[in-house]
Chains A and B, each alone.
Chain A
Amino acid sequence: MTSGQRNVRKRNPKRAASFEQQLATARTTLEELRRKSQKIPEDNDELEKLEARMKHLRKKLAEKSELHARQGKRH
């Protein structure tokens, strides 16, 4: 007897869509700010923040839910 697809890792589609939208917004802002030749300190700060945010969002997007077999179990 098999468990079929029960143990497959899943992604929450709404959560993933939200992260993708946030990532697209951050990417647009990042590109526009990089294009600006005369940057002021707040632009440089924002670029750093955006790069960190995009890294975080990419990581979150790659994440999938816990294995079904692991749910409710502790180490």
Chain B
Amino acid sequence: MHTKLVTSNSRLHAVHTGSKTWGAGRLMPGKGTSDLQVGQLAIDVEAILGTPDEKREFASQFYYIYRDKGVDVDFGEPGGRVKRLVFYDASVAGHSGGARVSVGGVGFGSSRAQAIKAFGMPDVEGGPVRVANRKKSWICYASGLQFEFNARGRVIIIMVFDPRLHRAC
């Protein structure tokens, strides 16, 4: 009798197919989604999202970039744990696909007023500034949540980050 090895629930299966099956979902400030979370290692992220399209290193950030899924993951440094999860609307900042995420009823296209109604007055806000030929502004909460808005005041980027990284400016 042959024994069939079922891999659909294994990490190996997720690594192989992760790029097609990730469904995003609801975000929790300071944490992430039900599967993709702050504090995970690169191997966990690759098991969920697959191999990144690009890896980029800055002064104190090390990003995995998933252009077709609309997600960037910051590990802080190579070999580090997830510090920030950035979710993009489609066609924003070079991401062809958009992440299907929302937080507290606020998603891509929601207004600044809706975000403030859902989460209260922000701890930090900034902008507008012109970045990559696009005017944007942002609001940030100490609980580990940041919204970025386009020139019309609509959400285009949602970031969930480790609340310990928050600093008031």
Contact = CB atoms under 8 A, between A and B. Distances in A.
Interface in B153-169: 157, 159, 161, 165-167, 169
Interface of A is mostly: helix
Nearest to A44: B58
Interface string A22-46: 0000001100110111111111111
Contacts of B124: 37
Main secondary structure of the interface of B (DSSP, over half): strand
Q: Which of B59, B84, B126, B159 has most A Cβ within 10 Å?
A: B126
Contact of B131 (A35, A37, A38, A46): A46
A28 B165 CA distance: 24
Contacts of B38: none
Given A38-B146, A40-B86, A40-B93, A33 B72 contact: no
Interface residues of B, number: 29
Interface centre among A29, A35, A38, A44 (most CB of B within 10 A): A38
A31 to B, nearest CB: 9
Contacts of B1: none
Contact of B130 (A29, A35, A41): A29
Interface string B44-68: 0000000000001011010101000
A42 B131 contact: yes
B132 interface: yes
A46 B169 CA distance: 20
A51 to B, nearest CB: 12
B58 A38 contact: no
B138 interface: yes
A38 B140 contact: yes
Contact of A43 (B131, B161, B165): B131
B126 A35 contact: yes
B80 interface: no
Interface of A: 28-29, 32-33, 35-46
